[in-house]
Structure 1
Amino acid sequence: MENTIYQSMKAAIRLLDNQGIIANNLANVSTNGFKETFNLTIKDEDINNLHKIRTQKYYNFSEGILTNTQRKLDLIVKDNGWLAIKDINGKEAYTKNGHLKTNSKGQLTIQNYKVIGNQGYIKIPNNINIKILSNGKIQKIDEQENKDFDKEIGSLKLVRFSKNDLIQKDNGLFYLKNNKLNQYSEALHDDTVRVQSEVLEASNVNPTKNMIDMISNARQFEMNMKMISMYDQNTERANQLFNINN
């Protein structure tokens, strides 16, 4: 009986973990470039042995819906390229969110994280006309005597990794896995990565599917809790009978 309770509790813990992932997915339905996360349950050869069941986190890297915004600081990073940013701890992280803004100092940011350029942070002067080229270079456009003159004011740091090299953390940003840090001691700009400006990629989270999964997880969790309660009651009654017989 104790083994049954243990198995039910292990299943309940897995369900709680899944519920947290689903809740995070739903919370980021409107986050540009967010990639859906899910747990895959893996069973060893003995599928009836719950002690050998484990879960592994996977990411849905498929592209979200693209929207033309006609905003100069919006962009998408094509294929498996990524934008590089600095998180609140000063660590380099990667994102597909191309909704760029400027902070009070004129520095480019994404979700309040500073965007990394090839030569440090990128500052955009106020009240200028800019364009972002497909290679990530940012140019200032001056119009003089009905002619346009372009001047480069910065260049985005664009990187490319294998999808299996990345792990997503609670802040929604992707990082290199620990076992890959030595291989990529410092991520370098990849000249082959391309962007497209004035377009945004939406989150690829399917809200309907995630809501169904959340309800299913909640029901399974409730079932496991009832099983634990039932076995606990049976144990108590068995002890009472044992005491009576003695």
Structure 2
Amino acid sequence: MLRGMYTASGAMQALQRQQEMLSNNLANARTPGFRADQASLRTFPEMMIQQSGVNERTGIQSRGTVGTLATGVFMQAATPNFALGSITETGNATDLQISSRDGSALFTVLHTDPLTGGEETLYTTNGQFAVGQDGLLRTTENDLVLDANGQALNVVNEDFVVSADGAVTDGNGQAIGNLGLVVTDQPETLERTGNGLFRSPAALAAGDVKVDQGVLELGNVEIEQTMAEMNSGLRQFEANQKVIQAYDRTAEKAVSEIGRVR
């Protein structure tokens, strides 16, 4: 009985985490470059159930295998989905959209921790940028956008042009630099760090990336599918609630009846 209650309660915890993940996806459906998370639900290692007893005919104790029993479910991880989101034209020079046939394309940025002041090279798919008062191209979170050499990209003002291969020139056609664009064919290895930024366990290399200026990629959240998954998860959560309630009633009945035995 207790095993069943633990199994049901474990499933409810996993479903709650899944609902929180789906809610976050919906909340960021219109966030530029947002990558929706996907849940991975796994079962705990199965237990081998065996029975033992004494053979009535021979008097020899024997043991036989009954089968396996799953001991519960848990949410192993939330993995970002790197499929491209919907595209919208903005006409803003600071809005960039990238894509690649070699894998998932990302911008390279220099993130500064607001608490410690430490700097770290991270990656993002959010191409909504702005030009700071110092002329440097920055993200909406004020992180520096880096060029192909790992340096801050100074575009001076919004009068700049980005070609399809990521080369940046000013309004007079003078070369400024090249965007630090990288590609990964293993996006599942990227670690989400918040604010649309990702950390890579290994160095990422440049690849065949196409850049569109004045275009912005929104989140890749499929709203209808996400709502359906949330409704399905809610029904499963309620089903596990009823299982626990049934076990609770059974335990209450057993205690009350055992108490009357003399």
Identify the TM-score tier after normalising by the shorter chain.
0.7 to 0.9
**1:5-16 counterparts in 2 under 5 A?**
5-16=5-16
Q: Give the superposition deviation at 1:234.
A: 2.2
Q: Which runs of 5+ in 2 are unaligned?
A: 47-66, 114-118
Residues 56 and 191 (structure 1 numbering): CA distance in 2 closer, same or farther, change over 3 Å? closer
Preserved contact between residue 44 and residue 70 of structure 2 (Cα < 8 Å): no
| DSSP 3-state at the match of 2:35 | coil
C-alpha RMSD over aligned residues: 2.6
Paired AA for residue 136 in structure 1: G
Paired AA for residue 70 in structure 2: L
Preserved contact between residue 86 and residue 219 of structure 2 (Cα < 8 Å): yes
Q: Give the superposition deviation at 1:231.
A: 1.4
Residues 238 and 191 (structure 1 numbering): CA distance in 2 closer, same or farther, change over 3 Å? closer
User: Which of 103, 106, 112 is 1:82 aligned to?
Assistant: 106
**1:129-140 counterparts in 2 under 5 A?**
129-140=159-170
**1:56-205 counterparts in 2 under 5 A?**
56-79=77-100, 80-89=104-113, 90-112=119-141, 113-117=143-147, 118-126=149-157, 129-142=159-172, 150-162=173-185, 163-176=187-200, 180-181=201-202, 184=203, 187-188=204-205, 190=206, 192-205=208-221
Paired AA for residue 151 in structure 1: Q
Q: TM-score, normalised by structure 1?
A: 0.81
Q: Which runs of 4+ in 1 moved over 6 A?
A: 44-48
Bigger fraction of residues in helix: 1
> Is structure 2 residue 60 aligned with structure 1 residue 29?
no
Paired AA for residue 23 in structure 2: A
Q: Percent identity?
A: 27
Q: Give the superposition deviation at 1:45.
A: 9.8
Greater gyration radius: 2
Distance 1:137 1:59 in 2: 29
| DSSP 3-state at the match of 1:31 | coil
Paired AA for residue 108 in structure 1: L
Aligned residues: 230
Distance 1:99 1:138 in 2: 16
Distance 1:210 1:71 in 2: 31
